Amino acid sequence: MPRALSPEIVERSLTVTLEDAAFVFVESSPPHAAPTESEAPELSAGDLPAADLIAADLSIRGPQSCTLSLVVPRGFGVLLAANLMGVAPDSPDADQAALDAVGEILNMTSGTLAEHWLGNGASYELGTPVVTAGADVQPAALQSRATFTVHLLAEDAYPIQAMASFAPETCA
């Protein structure tokens, strides 16, 4: 039985995925809030220039549909790759796999989320993660079209934003 997609479901799905797959522990950062255009927090502000960000998008299409987006600092992508692959964070393999790792974490999160959100027996299709990095990442644009944004802090060091955008025709 489908239920409303809430920030709590997104946060739980992402937290479980990061802990089980990548051995990374996260905590809530600021309280959940639906960002408005004027209030949208700037992930790229301060010591996080856009050039150091990785973003991934993935669509879930079913009885209800949405697009999930994940924005993380590049250093966190490298850490994810290292932990997923079982190599040292300073290894060239981890650096090369940073974008792939962020896409795969979003893919796993979406599978967990779809099950909790749409129910066990629901028929749905997961899309393929689309990953961008550097100047192509536009956190403010992602936030402005997001229905809500979840803010997390990983390993006491890396700010993470997970955004959900509903497809209006299915989630009105």
Partner 1 sequence: MAYEVLVVDDSKTIRAMVKKSIMLSGLEVGEVFEAANGREALEILSQRWIDIVFADVHMPDMNGIELVEAMSKDSVLVSVPVVIVSSDRNQEHINKLQELGVRAYIKKPFKPESFRDVVKDCLTKKEGC
Q: Which residues bind partner 1 (CB under 8 A)?
A: 16-17, 20-21, 81, 84-87, 93, 97, 100-101, 103-104, 107-108, 110-112, 114-115, 120-126, 128
Q: How far is the CB of 116 from partner 1 (least distance, A)?
A: 10
User: Between residues 42 and 125, which has the closer beta carbon with respect to partner 1?
Assistant: 125
Q: How far is the CB of 85 from partner 1 (least distance, A)?
A: 4
User: Between residues 122 and 171, which has the closer beta carbon with respect to partner 1?
Assistant: 122
- Which element (helix H / strand E) includes 168? helix 168-171
User: Between residues 50 and 102, which has the closer beta carbon with respect to partner 1?
Assistant: 102
Do residues 123 and 62 touch, judged by C-beta distance below 8 A?
yes
Alpha helix ranges (H) inside 2-158: 7-22, 74-85, 92-96, 98-118, 139-145
Distance between CA atoms of residues 107 and 118, nearest Å: 16
- Which element (helix H / strand E) includes 169? helix 168-171
Q: How far is the CB of 7 from partner 1 (least distance, A)?
A: 20
Q: How far is the CB of 37 from partner 1 (least distance, A)?
A: 32
User: Between residues 41 and 111, which has the closer beta carbon with respect to partner 1?
Assistant: 111
* Contacts of 20 by beta carbon, 8 Å cutoff, 6+ apart: none
Taking alpha carbons only, the member of 72, 59, 77 closest to residue 128 is 59
Q: How far is the CB of 40 from partner 1 (least distance, A)?
A: 29
User: Between residues 11 and 104, which has the closer beta carbon with respect to partner 1?
Assistant: 104
